[in-house]
Structure 1
Amino acid sequence: MHSVEVAQVIDVSETLNGSTAPLANSAGPTRSGWQSRYVVTLCFLDAVVGLASAVAALGLRFGPATAEPYNRGHLWLTIALPFAWMVALTLNRAYETRHLFVGNDEYARVFRSGLALTATLAVVSLAFDFRLARGYVIIAMPLVIVAGVAMRYLARQRLHRSWARGERLHRVILVGHEVAVAEMTRRLRRERFHGLGVVGACLPHRPAESAERRAAGSLPPILGTFEHVASAVGRVGADTVVVLSCPEIAGAALRRLGWQLERDDVDLIVASNLVDVAGDRTTIRPVDGLPMLHVEHPRLKGGRRVVKAVFDRVSALLLLILAAPVLLAIALLVRLNPDAGGPAIFHQVRVGKNGRPFIIYKFRTMYVDAEDRLEELLSPNETDGGLFKMRDDPRVTPVGRWLRRLSLDELPQLVNVLKGDMSLVGPRPPLPREVAGYPADMRRRLVVKPGLTGLWQVSGRSDLSWEESIRLDLSYVENWSLAMDMAILVRTLSAVVRSSGAY
């Protein structure tokens, strides 16, 4: 990310004299420029999606009779549908930049726009006595919703790839104490698809010389103290200021900082110290003129959990039926492998919801004596914490290495989902020895069923540290939603194709 990759500490006096000018020269395209082009591109794609869906519905519903005079109303509707679709998206704020780029909110708004437009068509047809063909609506509206989400997903993936190359990033200045700044910098540098490039930081005071040496690989360039935030923004061409939790900048100080930044339309973000609490669980409720942040409890029970359970089992059953030939072929391939020996299906005890043990099923990818050889391999373990992972594990068979790369070894876990031991999406199913070493906070991940896939898998799988995989699992437990599950399932397909972290 340009200058972000070289950690350095700049003396405050040098900073005030403008020694950071080269940073400003590397700013690249302005934020407002590329964001405006991105929104215009979305408008064009939505118009194409609306027109294509309407034309497809017209042709499939009426066929050769499309040009008949009695279908003139549907012809006009086909012409109007793209504009109506864009109006519905606008009313649902699907073009506002705060809902774009990351997260599932954008896709949810597209879905709600489709439902709203469907309801509007039904009301208008009744009000004006227009005989709207139900087949036309049944074809057009699902098409426009699915295609609309798909096109926005592809547009976002293209943007994420440019972010990964260090292009079109938000230029961020972090404001906070040294430890918090170092931690946030580390997280933002590690996660690729956030669009935030740290170009500097402002601390309460200039770090001591010993602190400078300690920060030599963690802190971004120090641009000054809290009093220098507004001037630092101009020097490095920043467009975003992130204030980390600190008592020095709160209340009146934060308000004054906002006034200084609004002159140049610089975004001000206050990073909450509520770790991994999603925005839809928080609401601001004024009490006697004071804004109080109310945190809702996680959705661990209720009707949506019932829907999730039904969706899991029905989907697992359908997938098992559809994948039966593949499962049989893999079982024969594993069983007939002369190097491996043993049964095709590997059984292992894992810990499920509320600490209840269950038997997990996987295709065998290791030699039969793999567990006996584990002790001699603990020293070259390539991950931290209680999980053993090794990129070139000698216990894995050649066929097993191929199955792991494509995640095909996990297909038998669909039986666990069908039995109710697991869910399609959830935390990674831990081993009993891992759970035995859990601290109190980590046991929180056991309040839901483990998953065949999850945030840990779509975020890097075995390439993640133990701490990061636990954080992702806890984040899923605290912020679960049906929309999140669907997004993770879609991202799982991409992760499997990339084979990232699969070994």
Structure 2
Amino acid sequence: MASPPRAAPFRRGLAFAAGLGFAVVPAIGPFLALLAVATGRLEIHRADRWWWLCAALLGVPLMVTGHAMAGALTIGQVLAVWLIFRSASAMRRVLHDASVPNDIGGGLVVGLALTLTIGLRQLDAMRLDTALTLLDSLTWHGHSALFGHAILVLSSLLAVVVPSARLRIIALALGGVGVVLSGAREAMFVWLLVAIGIRLLRRGGGRNVKIAEWTLIALMAVIASGAATLVGLGRPGFVTNLILPASEEANLLRGTEIAVGDWWHHLGVGVVSRTERVAGEERTVFIVTKAWPEPWARLQQVVTLVPGETYTLSAAWRATDGLRPGLDGWGRPGGGERDTVLTSTVSAGALSAGGSGGVVVLDATLEPLGDGWERGAVTFRFEGERPLGWYTGVVVDRTRSIGAQLAVSEMQLTATSERVSYAAGIADRGTDLQSSRLPIWRDALAAIAARPLWGWGTDGLPRSTAQLRPDETRVRPVAAHAHNAVLAAWVDRGVFGAVGLLGLMVLLSLRAVQQRDRAAVVVILGVLILNVFDATLLAGSVIYPLAAVLGWRAMHPSRAAVAETGVGSFATVRTALALGDAAAGAIAVSLATLAVGTFDPAVTLGGVWTTPLAYAVLVWPAMAAWSGLYPGYGLASHVSLARTVRAAGAGAVALGFGALLFPEALPLPGTVVVLAGIISVIAAPAIRAFVKASLRDLRLWGRPVVLLGSSEASARVARHLLAYPGIGLHPVAAFGNADGWHVSDLPVMGPLDAAWRYVAESGVRHAIVAPDAASGLDFDEVLLRANRRLRYVQFLPELQGLPAASFTAAPLGTALSLEIRNELASATNRSVKRAMDLIGAALLLAALAPMLALIALWIRRDSPGPALYRSERLGRYGRTFGCLKFRTMFVDADARLADLMAGDETLRDEYGRYHKLQDDPRVTGAGHWLRRSSLDELPQLVNVLLGDMSLVGPRPYLVRELEQMGTERELVFLARPGMTGYWQVSGRNDITFAERQAMEAHYVRNWSVWWDVELVLRTPLVLARRTGR
């Protein structure tokens, strides 16, 4: 067979240049996308409107808050992402030359190398003589985290798309070097995740390639874990520092011999540095100039104080005459507690110190060092209730002067009860999670609570902190942004921006998840983890390459999945549900706190949200798991609703008991707990419904099911499961006799004997056995024939008219029995249903009274006749009652109907089948709109109050329809007719009269309070669509 033609040299060179340019200058992406638009290769699809919506959600809030230019640029950036994604997909669709992807990949790798080289040019202040290790000597002049994230994302994407295993190793190695030198520890762990994931998913390459790849992974794991310190190689400084100090005498301050580093906070001071001899040793000396008049202006760092620990804070300084330097510290525990403060000052040749808010000063000394140098030291014990992020450093002058200068060196904080010899602090870039991220996230939550809808605009976090906590901005640094992508979007752009950002990520990853493109999903997961600890997603160097690669792979030839397909999707479904339940608990507690805080200013989010509470909200997922909701496949929607509400209520009760038993760890007032419980039983079902819908869109929700047997019972189950994907059982194949099978979406794939091979090859673990197949297959045979691969086997019994929900399976000896419960026979259940009717109807009538009056007036003006129409209907036990409706037909409608059907056989057939006419000429102008919106039935609320009807039940049948009702009419008449019901929210006018009765009989057999609640909640959605299912 002849090989495909090779591309022309010019075309190959152009492909290489495109890859090179995209890697070196990611911002070129939108311009390359415009070429696809100009050449007519990009077609606008209906789904593109979601991209435009995300652009509006991210940009418009900035315009609303007065930042029109920033909003316009944001909209332009998101549209650029859309163009890149769509143009990459379009190029992949039309590109058939196999050599072009190789050339693009080669250009991308070379571009990555150039990007790394250019980035490393930012390294400054190489102080090998004073640093403890080589990595300690590196500081960044630019934004190191953004550089590390960009290099990581670019190298990971290249590792996914490059065609050869060798190029993949080169890309990962270049990315690893950039990540290590960037100092972003979270990026290192994400690099390991991506590298291991791609290695396991893409098994190409020979033995040497595999050895090289695993060696590279092992080396990066050693660096990330900090194990290199054991052999004297030092450890890089990362934001999430997981390595404890080597000893109690270690300096807890960082980079004390390096003048430039993000660990320094210049609070009202300016700083320059030089090298001098201090007490006979060569040291870095900081010349600190006071720029603010405040007496606490200082050069400081942030550390974490541990309750019960004793610390010694010291520094050497050289002061001119008249200066009064000192050592200070400040922190705010939250929860209304006093600020944790340490103050000290030199006076009359001695150092005096004092503390408050948990700081107990034990000793303060001032020691001369010679050449005008002195060393001040303060020993104190921290008696706080929880770990605290504490800002500490050297004060230049305790007076209100400006311009005073102080030479400072050998700054040190140790967890000891006395001063120890000075040791330079290791230059960790950033601080640990407790002190570098949690305080920022608390600031972000406070900003969100103040302006949740539209946000604060650009620079929202410093702007909000300056307005909400002006006293704190003068004593501690404020982060430039929230260091979390979602929080940053919410602070700047409000809830609309947060939703827009999440929607953008869904649009980028949707196709990869649907197609089970596992390598791309690993990279997406890595990007999400990065943006938990920082907000780099919207940076052009991150999102443009991500959009290009995901768009390219969106045209992957693999077929989209239909449900769970493996361990990854299995874990994703359960993780998403658990996160949704945890979010419901967190939202409930937060909203309850905000509501109570409006009446009690002492109740604040910062005071309530403690670390123990963050763990305590996991009680909601725990209760949901105990209720069998992970994942809850096969549960009817009202059963799932009932379990979700009960689990949420149990979670709130458990939290309340925790607050009573551990009031210090969980400082929750009783009103907050009660209100949180009420909110959670509403939020949990709503969030679970949203998560399930999202998982369905991602083709993750549901367990694949094979049907054994092709009887009518099997077809009925297949149609039901296909029509209601929320149940979570997704038929993928049917086996049996194809004769008489009428499920078009699920053809019979062969006889029963062919099912076993299909089960073995497809990995399906759930089978439903129909009665025709069950007659020749017992349970043991199903297990044996399927080679024990089937974990779930359901048998459809040959029993007609039994409830599908109100039963309990129990053994009687060696036999299986089904205990049937008649819920409507319970007086308690009937009382609950009647109470719901009375309360609901009364509240709705009171709320809708003005609208009902306006509708009545409109009807009277639209056509002659009364506003209300009283129709004789069949009620409970077949008794007749007057059913009230707004008049939607002309007053002589019955005569008109008789005339119409007398001359039109088609209309007679339609009315005989559906008992309605699709285009009924008897309906008035106002009646058309009232019927489409179902508002014509609102007067039936009066019938509900009178006891003739219920909010939920079978439809009220016409008296003349009695003879046409089937054998199940007596069962239907056991319940009061309802304003809404099972058939109304499932099919409305789109099903036949016989199917309608069957559905209503099913409702009566399986009635429960929770099913009524679910049908009431679903009714507004059906009304909004103005159509049946």
Shift of residue 146, structure 1, vs aligned partner: 1.1
State the alpha-carbon separation in 2 of the partners of residues 216 and 55 from structure 1.
Answer: 52
User: Aligned pair 1:264/2:789, yes or no?
Assistant: yes
Q: Quote the residue 1:176 is aligned against.
A: 709
Name the structure 2 match of 1:154: 690
What is the identity, as a one-letter code, of the residue corresponding to 1:105?
Answer: V
Distance 1:289 1:384, change over 3 A: farther
Partner Cα separation in structure 1 for residue 743 and residue 668 of structure 2? 65
Question: In the alignment, what sits opposite 2:858?
Answer: 333
Identify if the C-alpha distance between structure 1 residues 31 and 262 changes in structure 2 by more than 3 Å, giving closer, same or farther: farther
- Structure 1 residue 171, shift from structure 2 partner: 4.5
Instruction: Tell me, yes or no, if structure 1 residue 284 matches structure 2 residue 819.
Output: no
Whole-angstrom CA distance in 2 between matches of 1:115 and 1:258 = 40
Deviates more, 1:326-335 or 1:170-179: 170-179
Q: Which one-letter code corresponds to 1:176 in the other structure?
A: G
- Whether 1:87 aligns to 2:87 is no
Paired residue for 2:646, among 112, 119, 137?
112
- Matched residue of 2:819: which SS? strand
Tell me the SS of whatever aligns to 1:94.
coil
1:141 and 2:677 aligned: yes
Q: Percentage identity across aligned positions?
A: 31
Alpha-carbon distance, 1:292 to partner: 1.9
Tell me, yes or no, if the aligned pair for 1:118 and 1:141 is still in contact at 8 Å. Answer: yes
2:873 is equivalent to residue 350 of structure 1: yes
Return the letter of the residue paired with 2:856.
A
Of stretches 343-352 and 241-250 in structure 1, the one that deviates more from structure 2 is 241-250
Query: CA–CA distance in 2 between the matches of 1:192 and 1:159?
Result: 11
Q: Does 1:320 align with 2:845?
A: yes
CA 1:494 to 1:67, structure 2 compared with 1: closer, same or farther past 3 Å?
Answer: closer
* 1:348 partner SS: strand
Q: Which shows bigger deviation, 172-181 or 71-80?
A: 71-80
Name 1:21's counterpart in structure 2. Answer: none
Give the stretch that moved more between structures: 493-502 or 59-68. Answer: 59-68
Relative contact order, higher structure (CA 8 A, sep 6+): 1
Conserved 8 A contact 2:966-2:994? no
Q: Matched residue of 1:319: which SS? A: helix
Q: Give, in angstroms, the shift of residue 184 of structure 1.
A: 4.5
Higher mean displacement: 366-375 or 87-96? 87-96
Work out the number of aligned pairs and report it.
463
1:305-336 CA deviation, whole Å, 9 max, x = no partner?
11111210121111111100000000000001
5 Å-filtered alignment, 1:226-265, equals 226-234=752-760, 238=764, 240-246=766-772, 248-249=774-775, 253-261=778-786, 263-265=788-790
Q: Paired residue for 1:473, among 990, 997, 1000?
A: 1000
List per-residue Cα deviations over 1:166-192 (Å, max 9, x = no partner): x86655432225444455555555666
Query: Taking structure 1 as reference, are residues 162 and 431 closer, same or farther at Cα in structure 2, changes over 3 Å only?
Result: farther
2: CA distance, partners of 1:265 / 1:142: 41
Higher Rg of the two aligned structures: 2
CA apart distance, 1:491: 0.4
Of the structure 1 ranges 465-474 and 175-184, higher mean CA displacement relative to structure 2 is found in 175-184
Q: Displacement, 1:288?
A: 2.0
**Aligned equivalent of 1:300:** 825
Q: Provide the rounded CA distance (Å) in 2 between the counterparts of 1:124 and 1:332.
A: 57
Say which SS state the counterpart of residue 106 (structure 1) adopts: helix
Q: Cα offset for 1:390?
A: 1.5
1:361 equivalent among 881, 884, 893: 884
In the TM superposition, residue 81 of structure 1 has moved relative to its aligned partner by: 3.5
Q: Tell me which residue corresponds to 2:571.
A: 36
Say if 2:876 and 2:977, in contact at 8 Å, map to a contact too.
yes
Tell me by how many angstroms 1:217 deviates. 7.5
Q: Which residue of 2 aligns with 1:412?
A: 939
Q: In the aligned structure 2, how far is the partner of 1:98 from the partner of 1:113?
A: 17
Counterparts of 1:247 and 1:437, CA distance in 2: 35
Partner of 1:294: helix, strand, or coil?
strand
* Change in CA separation of 1:123 and 1:262 when aligned onto 2, cut-off 3 Å: farther
Shift of the alpha carbon at 1:126? 5.0
Distance, in Å, in 1 between the alignment partners of 2:559 and 2:789 is 17
CA contact (8 A) 1:186 1:218 kept: no
Rounded Cα–Cα distance in structure 2 between residues aligned with 1:90 and 1:357:
48
Structure 1 pair 382/312, CA: closer, same or farther in 2 (3 Å)?
A: farther
Which of 391, 394, 414 is residue 921 of structure 2 equivalent to?
394
- Relative to structure 1, is the Cα distance of residues 81 and 179 closer, same or farther in structure 2, using a 3 angstrom cutoff? closer
For 1:155 and 1:383, the matched residues in 2 are separated by 41
Gaps of 5+ in 1: 1-23
Distance 1:106 1:190, change over 3 A: closer
Shift of 1:436: 2.4
TM-score (norm 2): 0.42
Q: Is the 8 A contact 1:351 1:430 kept in 2?
A: yes
Q: Take 2:577 and 2:883, find their aligned partners in 1: how far apart are those partners?
A: 44
Q: Which moved more, 1:148-157 or 1:89-98?
A: 89-98
Paired position in structure 2 for 1:65: 602
The structure with more helix, counted as a fraction of residues: 1
Report how far residue 60 of structure 1 moved. Answer: 3.1
Unpaired stretches in structure 2, ≥5 consecutive residues: 1-557
Q: 1:373 to 1:301 in 2, by over 3 A?
A: farther
Q: Secondary structure at the match of 1:497?
A: helix
Q: Which moved more, 1:328-337 or 1:467-476?
A: 467-476
Shift of 1:47: 2.2
SS in 2 for 1:414: helix
Q: CA RMSD in A?
A: 3.3
User: Partners in 2 of 1:30 and 1:123 — Cα distance?
Assistant: 38
Higher strand share: 2
Match of 2:193 in 1: none
Report the counterpart of residue 6 of structure 1 in structure 2. none
1:494 paired with 2:1021, answer yes
Residue equivalent to 2:976 = 449
Structure 1 distance, partners of 2:741, 2:586, is: 55
Q: Which amino acid aligns with 1:233?
A: V
Q: Secondary structure at the match of 1:373?
A: helix
Distance 1:122 1:189 in 2: 42
Does the 8 A contact of 1:51 with 1:81 survive in 2?
no
- State whether residues 381 and 388 of structure 1, in contact with CA within 8 Å, keep that contact through their aligned partners in structure 2: no
Native 8 Å contact 2:634 2:728 kept in 1: no
| Partner SS, residue 447 of structure 1 | coil
1:90-137 deviation line (CA, Å, top 9, x unaligned): 22232233366x522222222222332343344445556778522111
Conserved 8 A contact 1:427-1:449 = yes
